[in-house]
């Protein structure tokens, strides 16, 4: 079976029933250059496709924002759709060798090679932490300036060179909230293809300090109890999993 992961401007092509298209032939007419790479998963073959224009007016298919598909696709297909989107993003940013400037070509399902110097290139994921901080019967929720909508989330930030995940948590909490934490515990992780990341979740307890938000990053924030919660992230994010885990205790 061949699955077709076709994307355009942040949207993915699905059937009108909300599934990833599959079959011996693609669901729409394609040009030779539309197929970026081919993945293999067991007996399945997956074509990763960059569309020239959004698909409209074709019976049986629809375009949908990738993040919205979390509520429609199976968990396995949602992860697969995210992987395809990440590879498209990576392909766009690695068309030329960073060493000698020559064109690159695909070498395997997920790697490239320079056509001149032979340098091999593999996708490099941007790792970020996200942490739920509890203080007695409250947790810290913040609203970043780059959030779309009015929802609140958790303290998060990217891992820096030469830094452990635990050190990253401590630094981000100190920089964004002005406090210290203790009892740091690993919660879980989540691929985050927006555009090319891995979110690593932790829980922690408040240790000391007065809350002081980093105004460059955050516009609002505070300690919230279970009966006084603001709007929170949708279920596509590990932030929601971390919050729900606390709400259901």
72-122 pLDDT, tens digit per residue, is 999 999 999 999 999 999 999 999 999 999 999 999 999 999 999 999 999
To the nearest 10°, report the CA torsion of 113, 116, 119, 121: -30
**2-93 has CATH 3.40.50.720 classification:** no
H/E run at residue 39:
strand 35-41
Question: Does 2-93 match 126-247 in CATH topology?
Answer: yes
Residues whose CB falls within 8 Å of the CB of residue 242, separated by 6 or more in sequence, listed in order: 130, 132, 154, 187, 201, 203
222-240 pLDDT, tens digit per residue, is 999 999 999 999 999 999 9
Residue extents of the structural domains in the chain: 2-93, 126-247
- The residue assigned the tokens 């830094």 is 163
171-203 pLDDT, tens digit per residue, is 999 999 999 999 999 999 999 999 899 999 999
* Distance in angstroms (rounded) separating the CA atoms of residues 153 and 222: 11
Say if residue 109 is preceded by a cis peptide, omega within 30 of 0: no
Which neighbouring-strand residues pair with 113? 105, 120
* Distance in angstroms (rounded) separating the CA atoms of residues 160 and 105: 30
Phi, psi values for residue 168, rounded to 5°: -65, -45
What CATH code is assigned to 126-247?
3.90.79.10
Whole-angstrom CA distances from 37 to 33, 86, 105, 198 are: 10, 12, 10, 22
Burial code (b: 16+ CB inside 10 Å, e: under 16) for 50-82 equals: bbeeeeeeeeebebeebeebeeebeeebbebbb
* Distance in angstroms (rounded) separating the CA atoms of residues 174 and 186: 18
Q: What is the pLDDT of residue 242?
A: 98
Q: Region 140-149: what's the mean pLDDT?
A: 88
2-31 pLDDT, tens digit per residue, is 999 999 999 999 999 999 999 999 999 999
Give just the sign of the alpha carbon dihedral 161, 175, 147, 136.
positive
Q: What is the pLDDT of residue 1?
A: 82
Q: Is the pLDDT of residue 148 over 80?
A: no
Nearest Cα neighbor of 38 from 29, 50, 26, 46 is: 46
pLDDT interval class at 64 (50, 70, 90) = very high
């Amino acid at each position: 079976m061949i699955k077709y992961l076709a994307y355009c401007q942040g949207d993915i092509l699905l059937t009108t029933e909300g599934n990833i298209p599959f079959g011996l032939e693609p669901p729409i007419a394609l040009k030779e250059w539309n197929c970026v790479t081919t993945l293999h998963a067991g007996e399945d073959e997956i074509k990763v496709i960059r569309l020239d224009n959004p698909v409209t007016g074709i019976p049986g298919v629809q375009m949908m924002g990738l993040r919205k598909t979390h509520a429609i696709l199976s968990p396995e297909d949602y992860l697969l759709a995210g992987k395809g989107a990440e590879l498209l993003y990576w392909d766009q940013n690695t068309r030329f060798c960073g060493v000698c400037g020559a064109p690159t070509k695909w070498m395997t399902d997920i790697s490239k090679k320079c056509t001149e110097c032979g340098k091999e290139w593999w996708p490099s994921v941007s790792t970020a932490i996200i942490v739920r901080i509890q203080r007695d019967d409250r947790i810290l929720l913040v609203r970043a300036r780059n959030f779309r909508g009015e929802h609140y989330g958790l303290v998060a930030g990217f891992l820096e060179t030469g830094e452990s995940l635990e050190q990253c948590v401590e630094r981000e909490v100190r920089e964004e909230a002005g406090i210290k934490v203790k009892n740091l515990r690993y919660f879980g992780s989540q691929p985050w293809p927006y555009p090319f990341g891995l979110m690593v979740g932790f829980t922690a307890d408040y240790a000391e300090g007065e809350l002081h938000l980093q105004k460059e990053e955050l516009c609002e924030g505070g300690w919230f109890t279970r009966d006084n919660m603001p709007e929170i992230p949708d279920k596509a994010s590990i932030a929601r999993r971390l919050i729900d885990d606390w709400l259901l205790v």
